[in-house]
Amino acid sequence: MSELQLAGRVAVVTGGASGIGRATAKLLARHGAKVVVGDYRLLPENDAEFAELVIEQRQVDVRREVELKELIEFSETFTGRIDILVNNAGIAMVKQIVDVSEADWDACLDTNLKAAFFGCKYAIASMLRDGQGGAIVNTASNAGILPRAHDPVYSISKLALVGLTKSLALSHSKDRIRINAVCPGPVGETGMMNADLDKAADRAATVKQFIAASPLARAAGRMISPEEVAASILYLVSDAACMVTGTMIAIDGGKSLGVPPL
């Protein structure tokens, strides 16, 4: 049997209604996991495909600890535990510090960082109960490797998410709970990217700029896809990565390596 098979495992994916989370939920389900998607925006367009893959959908605001607790408790009802958590829900925040309100800060940090922390709290408690271990993946960003000038609050949230990943990985390796991060570059066909492009004065030129910023995307002449990020998440939650923890995989086509050639 392939080491990527997840049969018998329960996986929770936050922000699974669209983009990277949706691609991840579908890929994990296709590899045999019982998947529960938690999102504050459940989209009817997912109903048929999710039903086919027996993916459960729960309306959850990940900024609220109590709702994450309920999501994990619901997910435990299938086998008594959860095996996999993907903390993927996230929002952008393209503002300079002088324009950032306390509400902006809270919205971004609560969604991108606090939610992952409390998701880990309840997932780790579930995984600790029977000593069988588990796997957690946090969706960070290339902004979690190198901060970006245009979105300092987002960069701070993702840099801290990488810090959270390493810290909790260190604390829970002894429990066979592996905690890793993925750091995607600009990913097309996502709510986040579409929102950016909708704001752009020249959509086609902006797409070109995103592609140009990422050397492999540029060589391929296209953006990174949600499915390409999901493939790394599948690897990290599977037994193929059984000795991998506290690390991050950059799925950014080389964007975070340095300044690309002209």
- Given the rule CB under 6 A, which residues bind ligand NAD? 15, 17-21, 39-41, 60-63, 88-91, 111, 139, 141, 184, 186-187, 190-193
Task: For ligand NAD, give the closer residue by CB, 129 or 199.
Answer: 199
- The least CB distance from residue 133 to ligand NAD, in Å, is 25
The answer to whether 40 is a known catalytic residue is: no
Task: For ligand NAD, give the closer residue by CB, 33 or 183.
Answer: 183
- The least CB distance from residue 105 to ligand NAD, in Å, is 15
How many whole angstroms separate alpha carbon 35 and alpha carbon 27? 10
Give SS3 for 249: strand
Task: For ligand NAD, give the closer residue by CB, 63 or 172.
Answer: 63
Task: For ligand NAD, give the closer residue by CB, 46 or 126.
Answer: 46
Instruction: Tokens for 36, please give them.
Output: 């529960």
- The least CB distance from residue 167 to ligand NAD, in Å, is 19
Enumerate helices (H) and strands (E) in the chain, giving the number of each. Answer: 10, 7
Task: For ligand NAD, give the closer residue by CB, 40 or 117.
Answer: 40
193-218 as b/e: b if 16+ CB within 10 A? beebeeeeeeeeeebeebbebbbbbb
- The least CB distance from residue 187 to ligand NAD, in Å, is 4
Nearest to 181 by CA among 61, 88, 75, 252: 88
Task: For ligand NAD, give the closer residue by CB, 241 or 248.
Answer: 248
How many whole angstroms separate alpha carbon 222 and alpha carbon 210? 9
Beta strand spans in 26-132 (E): 34-39, 56-59, 84-87
Give SS3 for 71: helix
Angle at CA of residue 119, ends 66 and 125, nearest 5°: 90
- The least CB distance from residue 236 to ligand NAD, in Å, is 14
- The least CB distance from residue 183 to ligand NAD, in Å, is 7
Burial grade of 78 (CB within 10 A; 0-12, 13-18, 19 or more):
middle
User: Crossing angle, helix 65-76 and helix 115-129, to 10 degrees?
Assistant: 30
- The residues annotated as belonging to the active site are 154
